[in-house]
């Protein structure tokens, strides 16, 4: 199916079919803020028959009920929704996340790769304000953009079979938080006592793409509530 291009805030968007009940919008590079803005705009309208809106680094997936929508009709509605909306949302939720960096398990690798001391890495990592770029690869995993390039470190060639929930890691030019225990190949530099996914809650996570996070170093005693 050939779908027309869309424009949002001057950014060209390439629509595509992602299965019979999902639309994929692909964006030009450096469009993360636009993606978050459009996702918020769609969610804010509570459009009937829209099942989910899923932002990623350069795309936005929209899952819909095929009894109500098809790809072309949804595109027409999106054009109407965005043509008179050129402003960015100013509402940014900032979450302070405590991290015990002494519970990191990959400090030797991080120090060797970056050439920085542990306290220098902690200082650089905890003084930045990060943007929640997207959620995945497991439920509630938090991908954060804004990592200082001095802290960029490659993922492990042999991932661990178990990373504890709450682990804070660095993989490539990203930092993130493991919401659940899972396999993983990121360099773990700390752990937070906060939970970022609870299946008993609705929604199961308080975070969403576009929110901001600031890490706060804490001691082991603070982590364990002593």
Residue-level pLDDT at 3: 60
Residue-level pLDDT at 5: 66
Residue-level pLDDT at 33: 82
What number is the average pLDDT over the span 18-32?
85
Instruction: Kindly list the structural domains of the chain, giving each domain's residue range(s) and its CATH number in brackets, ordered by start.
Output: 6-83 (3.30.1360.40), 94-223 (2.40.100.10)
Q: What is the pLDDT of residues 138-152, one digit of tens each?
A: 888 999 999 999 999
DSSP state at residue 112: H
Residue-level pLDDT at 191: 97
The pTM for the full model equals 0.80
Given a cut of 80, is residue 28 above it in pLDDT? no
**Rounded Cα gap, residues 4 and 78, in angstroms:** 12
Buried b or exposed e, range 187-199, using 16+ CB within 10 angstroms: bbbbbbeeebbee
Task: Let me know: does 138 contact 182? Beta carbons within 8 Å.
Answer: yes
Residue-level pLDDT at 9: 63
**Rounded Cα gap, residues 226 and 220, in angstroms:** 8
What number is the average pLDDT over the span 103-107?
97
Task: Let me know: does 57 contact 133? Beta carbons within 8 Å.
Answer: yes
Residue-level pLDDT at 85: 59
Given a cut of 60, is residue 29 above it in pLDDT? yes
Residue-level pLDDT at 54: 87
| C-alpha torsion angle, residues 29, 30, 31, 33 (rounded to 10) | 160
Q: Which of 32-36, 99-103, 196-200 has the highest mean pLDDT?
A: 99-103
Q: What is the pLDDT of residues 112-134, one digit of tens each?
A: 999 999 999 999 999 999 999 98
Question: Percent of the chain scored above 90 by pLDDT?
Answer: 50
What number is the average pLDDT over the span 78-101?
74
**Rounded Cα gap, residues 24 and 61, in angstroms:** 5
Q: Which residue has the tokens 């015990």?
A: 100
Given a cut of 80, is residue 109 above it in pLDDT? yes
Given a cut of 70, is residue 190 above it in pLDDT? yes
Residue-level pLDDT at 46: 67
Name which of 113, 123, 131, 19 is nearest 71 in CA terms: 19
Q: What is the pLDDT of residues 39-65, one digit of tens each?
A: 888 887 767 889 888 888 888 999 999
């Amino acid at each position: 199916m050939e779908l027309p291009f869309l424009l949002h805030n001057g950014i060209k968007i390439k629509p595509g079919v992602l299965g019979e009940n999902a639309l994929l919008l692909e964006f030009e590079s450096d469009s993360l803020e636009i993606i978050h803005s459009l996702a918020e705009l769609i969610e804010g309208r509570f459009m009937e028959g829209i099942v989910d809106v899923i932002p990623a680094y350069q795309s936005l997936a929209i899952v819909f009920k095929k009894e109500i929508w098809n790809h072309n009709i949804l595109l027409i509605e999106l054009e109407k929704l965005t043509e008179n909306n050129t402003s960015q949302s100013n509402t940014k939720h900032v979450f302070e996340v405590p991290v015990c960096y002494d519970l990191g398990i990959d400090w030797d690798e991080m120090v060797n790769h970056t050439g920085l001391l542990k306290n220098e890495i902690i200082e650089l990592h905890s003084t930045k304000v990060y943007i929640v770029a997207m959620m995945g690869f497991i439920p509630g995993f938090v991908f954060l953009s804004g990592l200082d390039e001095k802290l960029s470190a490659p993922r492990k060639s042999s991932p661990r079979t178990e990373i504890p929930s709450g682990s804070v890691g660095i993989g490539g030019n990203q930092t993130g938080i493991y919401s659940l225990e899972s396999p993983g190949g990121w360099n773990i530099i700390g752990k937070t006592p906060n939970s970022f996914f609870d299946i008993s809650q609705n929604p199961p996570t308080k975070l969403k793409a576009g929110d901001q996070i600031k890490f706060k170093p804490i001691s082991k005693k603070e982590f364990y509530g002593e």
